[in-house]
Structure 1
Amino acid sequence: MATRPRFPLFHRLDRKAVLVCTAIVFGAIASGFIYDMAVRASFNPLEYPWYVHVHALTYSSWLVLLVWQVTMVRTGNIETHKRFGRLALVILPLMLVTGPMVAIMSREAMPDPDPGNLTFMSTQFTNVLGCVPLLFAGYLLRRDPATHKRLMLMGSIAITEPGFSRILHHPLYEWLGDGVARYYFETYPGTLLLMLAVAAYDLRTRGRLHPAWIFAFCWVFANEWLASWLYYQDGFWLSWMRALTGH
């Protein structure tokens, strides 16, 4: 019986494609937060509590590590890439903790948060759940370069929502309005397009999708759809978030 050809490990365009994807991830998050800080600064002086700084440092560390690792591969420093990859074992657990931490503590500090602000924690929680397990799986599967590369890219794409939505959510909401499906497309257009771009690249260069992409897409999409559904649950979810934040 004929066997299916093995998924091609490398393509001459891979280095450029990974670099472009990494640059978009970094640029989307950086530009979103820069825009947010500029808007905040136009009304009040920028003052953030300590837990926001810890959260920002943790997630920024991952972005810096991602760029560094891509650079090491592009320049042929594979051994350096492997050594620095161990930093993931430090950064990923911190991401898993500081993501929910900043979501909870920022609401605790609010005198009377509105319901939408509390139910939005579904997006903050699932952003962490969508990215960290994929990144950790990518680290564990580092001996399989094709799988490792796609899990690391897809896991990093999963944390771009805060960057994209700070710029795109309000205009898209004005256009699309309320609703679970509408919320998904208002909040996650950037992550969806980037994930589909990775799929389009594999189809163009390999003629099929890698199983790691299929798994990662389903995982991220499921988490994002769950967040969209929970956002509109004014019963049990809102009650849980009120209890969690002391309101």
Structure 2
Amino acid sequence: MVHAKLPSPTIHVHAIAATLWLITLIVQIGLVSARKVKLHMTVGLWGFSLAAAWVVIAMAAALDALRRNFSPPGSGLDPLTFFIVPVTGAGLFAWFAGWSYLARRTPQAHKRLIMIATIAILDAAVGRFPYTVWPSLTGLKQSLVLFVLLAAIMVYDFITLKRIHRATWIPALALIVVHLTRIPFGQTHLWMRFAAMCQG
């Protein structure tokens, strides 16, 4: 499986963009820890450009998967229904990353929003765990892993602020609601028609 060819160049580009995002996040955390704020802000311009590009690439990859009638093995989902997963993931990421950009002068909000934006796109990575760790880690169980990460941020808020920061609870609530409702909505006639139109 490690040496398997990916079905589309778009998937390669998507994987590269996601990897670059994670590397950039790690570098940015390191720069802040080293108190190199000016360099952090300069790299941040690259980071937000990458975030915008990632959203476009993610949507291209989602459309590519839809047109190949792809649905994760074992998910039992119609490809038209599964299409809602990458679409909502990209949408949440765009919202949180965009909000983080607007809040870049407010460190407490900025850092929380960037972390939750990253959590919003981790379900694909979590979905790869079954190959080596937990064979039944699919569907809602993947979402629960993300919910645990959100809970960790909330605990951090309680410890450091004695409350849950607005930049934590609003995106966290949005992510949880989307994850719990997107598959049922993705099975509606309305969504299926929309996805079929996108499929062409």
Superposed pair shares fold, TM > 0.5: yes
In structure 1, the gaps of 5 or more residues are 1-36, 174-182
Q: Which has the higher contact order (CA 8 A, sep 6+)?
A: 1
Q: CA deviation at 1:54?
A: 1.7
Pairing 1:10-89 to 2, within 5 Å after superposition: 37-38=1-2, 41=3, 45-89=4-48
Q: CA deviation at 1:192?
A: 0.5
| Identity across the alignment (%) | 22
Contact 2:6 2:12 in 1 (8 A): no
SS of the aligned residue for 1:159 comes to coil
Q: 1:171 aligns with which of 113, 122, 136?
A: 136
Tell me what 2:123 maps to: 161
Contact 1:165 1:186 in 2 (8 A): no
Contact 1:126 1:223 in 2 (8 A): yes
Tell me what 2:88 maps to: 126
Q: 1:57 to 1:88 in 2, by over 3 A?
A: same
Residue 90 (structure 1) aligned with residue 49 (structure 2) = yes
Q: CA deviation at 1:230?
A: 2.2
Q: CA deviation at 1:115?
A: 5.7
Q: State TM-score, norm by structure 1.
A: 0.71
Q: Distance in 1 between matches of 2:135 and 2:191?
A: 23
Q: 1:116 to 1:80 in 2, by over 3 A?
A: same
Q: 2:99 aligns with which of 137, 140, 153?
A: 137
Contact 1:115 1:238 in 2 (8 A): no
Contact 1:72 1:81 in 2 (8 A): yes
Q: Distance in 1 between matches of 2:157 and 2:186?
A: 33
**Which amino acid is 1:80 matched to?**
L
Q: CA deviation at 1:203?
A: 1.0
* Corresponding residue pairs, total: 194
Contact 1:139 1:148 in 2 (8 A): yes
Select the structure of larger CA radius of gyration: 1
Q: Distance in 2 between matches of 1:104 and 1:70?
A: 33
Q: Distance in 2 between matches of 1:232 and 1:206?
A: 41
Tell me what 2:193 maps to: 239
Q: Distance in 2 between matches of 1:92 and 1:186?
A: 27
**Which amino acid is 2:12 matched to?**
H
SS of the aligned residue for 2:126 comes to helix
Q: Distance in 2 between matches of 1:105 and 1:142?
A: 33
Q: CA deviation at 1:172?
A: 4.3
Q: 2:153 aligns with which of 167, 187, 198?
A: 198
Q: Distance in 2 between matches of 1:212 and 1:47?
A: 37
Q: In the TM superposition, what whole-angstrom CA distance separates every residue of 1:20-69 from its partner, at most 9, and x where no partner exists?
A: xxxxxxxxxxxxxxxxx53xx4xxx4244221122122222211110110
Q: CA deviation at 1:187?
A: 3.4
TM-align CA RMSD: 2.4
Tell me what 1:227 maps to: 182
Q: CA deviation at 1:88?
A: 2.9
Contact 1:69 1:85 in 2 (8 A): yes
